[in-house]
Amino acid sequence: MRVTLIHNPKAGKQGERDARTALVKLLRGAGHEVRYQSSKDDDWDEALAAPAELIAVAGGDGTVSRVARRMVGRGIPVAPLPLGTANNIARTLGVADVSLEEIVRGWRNPRRVKLDVGVAEGPWGKRQFLEGVGVGLFATLLAHGKAKKKAAKSDRAGDRVARALRMLRQRVKTCEAIALKASLDGRDISGSYLLLEALNILYVGPNLFLAPESKPGDGTFDVVLVSEAERERLVEYLSKWQDNRERLAVLPSHRGKRLTLEWTGFQVHIDDKRWPKKKDKPPPAPAPIEVRIGGKSVEFLTAA
Please check whether residue 246 is in contact with residue 207, taking contact to mean a CB–CB distance below 8 angstroms: no
The domain in which residue 127 lies consists of 118-295
Interval 253-275: pLDDT, tens? 999 999 999 999 999 999 989 89
Can you give the pLDDT at residue 246?
Answer: 63
Please check whether residue 267 is in contact with residue 231, taking contact to mean a CB–CB distance below 8 angstroms: no
Can you give the pLDDT at residue 243?
Answer: 65
Please check whether residue 34 is in contact with residue 54, taking contact to mean a CB–CB distance below 8 angstroms: no
How far is the first Cα of the chain from the last one, in angstroms, to the nearest whole number? 18
Can you give the pLDDT at residue 165?
Answer: 86
Same domain, 83 and 169: no
Domain contains 170 = yes
Domain boundary residue among 82, 115, 148? 115
Same domain, 137 and 272: yes
Same domain, 68 and 186: no
Same domain, 172 and 55: no
Can you give the pLDDT at residue 248?
Answer: 67
Nearest to 93 by CA among 200, 235, 249, 183: 200
Domain contains 188 = yes
Nearest to 216 by CA among 77, 118, 84, 83: 118
Q: What is the CATH number of the domain that holds 43?
A: 3.40.50.10330
Interval 159-188: pLDDT, tens? 888 888 888 989 999 999 999 999 999 999
Can you give the pLDDT at residue 141?
Answer: 81
Q: What is the CATH number of the domain that holds 187?
A: 2.60.200.40
Q: Note if the bond before 276 is cis, omega within 30 degrees.
A: yes
Give the count of alpha carbons within 13 A of 102, CB side only: 9
Q: For the chain, what is the domain count?
A: 2
Same domain, 25 and 125: no
Domain boundary residue among 115, 149, 165? 115
Interval 77-106: pLDDT, tens? 999 999 999 999 999 999 999 999 999 999
Task: Encode the chain in three state secondary structure.
Answer: CEEEEEECCCCCCCCHHHHHHHHHHHHHHCCCEEEEEECCCCCHHHHHHCCCCEEEEEECHHHHHHHHHHCCCCCCCEEEEECCCCCHHHHHCCCCCCCHHHHHHHCCCCEEEEEECEEEEECCEEEEECCEEEEEHHHHHHHCHHHHHHHHCCCCHHHHHHHHHHHHHHHHHHCCCEEECEEECCEECCEEECEEEEECCCCECCCECCCCCCCCCCCCEEEEEECHHHHHHHHHHHHHHHHCCCCCCCCCEEEECEEEEEECCCCEEECCEEECCCCCCCCCCCEEEEEECCCCEEEEEECC
Domain boundary residue among 48, 83, 115? 115
Mean confidence (pLDDT) of the chain: 90
Domain contains 48 = yes
Q: What residues in the chain have per-residue pLDDT under 70?
A: 14-16, 143-155, 242-248
* Close Cβ partners of 221 (under 8 Å, ≥ 6 residues apart): 116, 118, 132, 198, 199, 200, 214, 255, 256, 257, 259, 291, 293
Can you give the pLDDT at residue 244?
Answer: 64
Distance between CA atoms of residues 182 and 263, nearest Å: 9
Same domain, 124 and 98: no
Can you give the pLDDT at residue 245?
Answer: 60
